[in-house]
Structure 1
Amino acid sequence: MSQYPTPVRLAQALGLTGAAYLAGNIFAYSYATIPALQASAAKHSAPAPLLAKQWSELYARGKAQNPPIAAITAAAFAYLAWTAHSGKSAALDVLAPRNAVALYSAAAALTVGIVPWTFAAMKGTNDKLHERASEVYAVTEKTGQEVGELLSRWKVLNAVRGLFPLVGGLVGFLAF
């Protein structure tokens, strides 16, 4: 049986599983979904407007799902930082490392870091892909190449975004 109080254990479980789920979900877009779209273009001549529209649908689902998960996960880590700092749990004082407050705080910041990263680093690429998805235009070689390049860039930027909750979860784990 654990020496940590139940609310602390629940927050630890929520923080770690939330960060792991979020990282896996984000990485899945970069390592499974976008390559599948790119393969559709290469193998089956899927038109660029269709690929952009499919990306836009996937983006909308991720946008609706991932920020709330990041917020809940970060809140769990923030609660743990507060608990460790305030001395609300004698078990945390004895069992947690001295830098638990800093580690849990960093875990919270890293996990929710997907939001500023999206706005700061990905907005231009996202906007261009959304434009291509909403336009009705003739498919040209240039259009197809542009959408392909945008998807490739987005795939990398999104993979970097997936590192935020992954590292956040690892940092949170170090505080145990």
Structure 2
Amino acid sequence: MSPTIGFRMAQAIGFTGAAWLSGNIAAFSMNAVPSLLRSRKETNLPLTVLAKQWRKMYETGRRQNPPIALVTAAAFVYLAMSSPSSPPLFRAVPFSRVGLYISAAVLTLGIVPFTAIAMGNTNNTLIKVSESRGEGAAVADAEVEGLLLDWVAMNRIRSLFPLVASLIGIATASL
């Protein structure tokens, strides 16, 4: 039995949605924040200004990425529920389509708790710095670059969640 058009559309949404999400998240760590840090050295901007610029990018990602993750994960769940000749979810069968598609969904949504748990303190501190009006700028400047570098490292890890989800989805399609 060949897959339906709905199944193929869910595959396209799941695979490309997860890959796009990974690239979108990674772009902040590979391009945007490192560019901010380089511009500070060239222009001697206070790091509190960089924290404000980081916050604008952070808020943009915070608004757009969770809904994309939700739609992508929903596509993977649909694939799990609709997979032809899939064994039951809790059956002890290694590499079942259902289990792999569910894993892809969980990994895609994993960006949300990772952001809250692993990145929460760094995000909250950077947000506080971005809200300062210059008071305590010497303290902020001493910390902000380190916070931004920590954020870059953690965000790189976070970008791998949907990338792995996309790869799992693609690999599962060939089973």
Query: TM-score, normalised on structure 1?
Result: 0.89
| 1:65 CA displacement | 0.2
Structure 2 residue aligned with 1:157: 154
| 1:137 CA displacement | 2.0
Indicate whether 1:146 and 2:138 are aligned: no
Which structure's residues are more often helix, by fraction? Answer: 1
The alignment partner of 1:175 has SS state of helix
| 1:98 CA displacement | 6.4
Structure 1 residue aligned with 2:110: 113
CA distance in 2, matches of 1:145, 1:106: 41
Structure 1 residue aligned with 2:91: none
The alignment partner of 2:119 has SS state of helix
The alignment partner of 1:93 has SS state of coil
Superposition pairs for residues 31-46 of structure 1, below 5 Å? 31-46=30-45
Superposition pairs for residues 17-166 of structure 1, below 5 Å? 17-84=16-83, 92-93=84-85, 99-138=96-135, 139-140=137-138, 142-166=139-163
CA distance in 2, matches of 1:42, 1:137: 19
Structure 1 residue aligned with 2:171: 174
- Which 5+ residue runs of structure 1 have no aligned equivalent? 85-91
| 1:118 CA displacement | 0.5
| 1:133 CA displacement | 0.2
| 1:60 CA displacement | 0.5
The alignment partner of 2:3 has SS state of coil
Query: TM-score, normalised on structure 2?
Result: 0.90
- Which 5+ residue runs of structure 2 have no aligned equivalent? 87-93
Number of positions where the alignment pairs a residue of Structure 1 with one of Structure 2: 165
CA distance in 1, matches of 2:48, 2:153: 21
Query: Percent identity of the aligned residues?
Result: 44
The letter of the residue matching 1:145 is A
What per-residue deviation string (whole Å, max 9, x for no partner) do you get for residues 44-71 of structure 1? Answer: 1111111010011111000000000000
CA distance in 2, matches of 1:83, 1:4: 9
Structure 2 residue aligned with 1:14: 13
| 1:143 CA displacement | 2.4
What per-residue deviation string (whole Å, max 9, x for no partner) do you get for residues 130-152 of structure 1? Answer: 00000112532x42231100000
CA distance in 2, matches of 1:98, 1:134: 48
